[in-house]
Copies of this chain bind each other. A is one copy, B any other.
Amino acid sequence: MNLHEYQARALLKAAGVPVPDGDVAATPSEAEAIARRVGGTVVVKAQVHAGGRGKAGGVKLARGPAEARECASQILGMTIKGLVVNKVLVVPAADIATESYVGLILDRKTQKPVFMVSDAGGIDIEEVAAKTPEKITRLPIDPRYGLLPHQALQLALALYKDWSQAKAAMQILRQLYGVFMANGCTLAEINPLVTTPEGKVLALDAKMTIDDNELDRRPDLAVLRDESSEEQSEVTARRANLTFIKLDGNVGCVVNGAGLAMATMDLVKYYGGEPANFLDIGGSSNPEKVVSALKIITADPNVKVILFNIFGGITRTDDVANGIVAATKQFKVDVPIVIRLTGTNEQEAFRILESVGMTAMNDMDAAVSKAVKLAGEAA
């Protein structure tokens, strides 16, 4: 789960990391009030889960409260990479002497959180990483011992030559590590970490990703999810315990298992089609889940055909068949359904489907190519 900048900033601030004054606003007049309070020139920043906000016009400079109101009214409601902006962050415009990058990432290879810091921070950090990786200092942290003083020192000295700035950075690194661990993050970064002309060190922007697997045991983190910034179909799917990701194609897919779901999408593409979604109904599925899945998929007007690909292991294929029958009784499905079922209880499943005049197939390739063909005919 990605946090908005204002949420990440709040967690850092609570841990003691110096951040600029300012606050989040949902309306232009709130933005105006914040600008009035902080005074001077402010930056109005779209709060949205998408990179390249600046280039998309989602970050604006405002000289005073009136301009802040104006900027906020322009940004609020705009769409960046398909996502609507519902909130803006209003902060004083900072004078910047240097920009650094400080990130902490859960690394698969070392199986540890790894710090990445660079004194070449700012918006071009990905380019720095790609072209001059030697400018980035990487340091894995053993969570059994935490961030040790000499490690914080080593990282801080990679950022700053000035001793008082290095000491400030050590403190910020410790706080960032604390926030990462305390909130079950898989990523936490400050970019840029700036110094002001007076030599103060300040976290100007922050990004955080929380491990979805933490949310069940951490209701305090789960409430940070901003469903208004998500695809509504994905929100609905999550509430039905389905893993669903909307895509742009026209072949709706219902699959059990994440790997098989991806492979099914790939095979749709292989046979010349385009998948409309990723959808995993999970292992121990029941008929109601199938009903929910069909509801979500049929709500997408792009979908021209629905493809079931179920390999019954734990999943009972008769459960799936019953779900399909139940759904088609509850609401009308206007597009053709291609069904591939194999494995546990498949004979019973075939019988159930045949009893309502539906047919199923046994082979994945045959089912996928048929679905792609039907989608092509409907388009």
Taking Cβ atoms with an 8 Å cutoff, the residues of A that contact B are: 144-145
Contact = CB atoms under 8 A, between A and B. Distances in A.
A144 B144 CA distance: 5
Top 2 closest pairs, chain A to chain B, by CB? A144-B144, A144-B145
A144 B145 CA distance: 7
A143 to B, nearest CB: 9
Contacts of A144: 144-145
A334 B360 CA distance: 111
Copies of this chain, whole number: 2
Contacts of A145: 144
A148 to B, nearest CB: 13
A147 to B, nearest CB: 14
Nearest to A146: B144
Nearest to A145: B144
- The secondary-structure label for the interface of chain A is loop
A142 to B, nearest CB: 9
A230 to B, nearest CB: 35
2 contacts: A144-B144, A144-B145
A144 B146 CA distance: 10
Nearest to A143: B144
A208 to B, nearest CB: 25
A149 to B, nearest CB: 14
Nearest to A144: B144
A188 to B, nearest CB: 23
A145 B145 CA distance: 9
Nearest to A142: B144
A357 to B, nearest CB: 54
A144 B148 CA distance: 13
A322 B159 CA distance: 51
A154 B144 CA distance: 23
A145 B144 CA distance: 7
A243 to B, nearest CB: 29
A174 to B, nearest CB: 16
A109 B252 CA distance: 64
A144 B142 CA distance: 10
A81 B144 CA distance: 44
A33 to B, nearest CB: 40
A329 to B, nearest CB: 47
A10 to B, nearest CB: 26
A21 to B, nearest CB: 31
A182 to B, nearest CB: 15
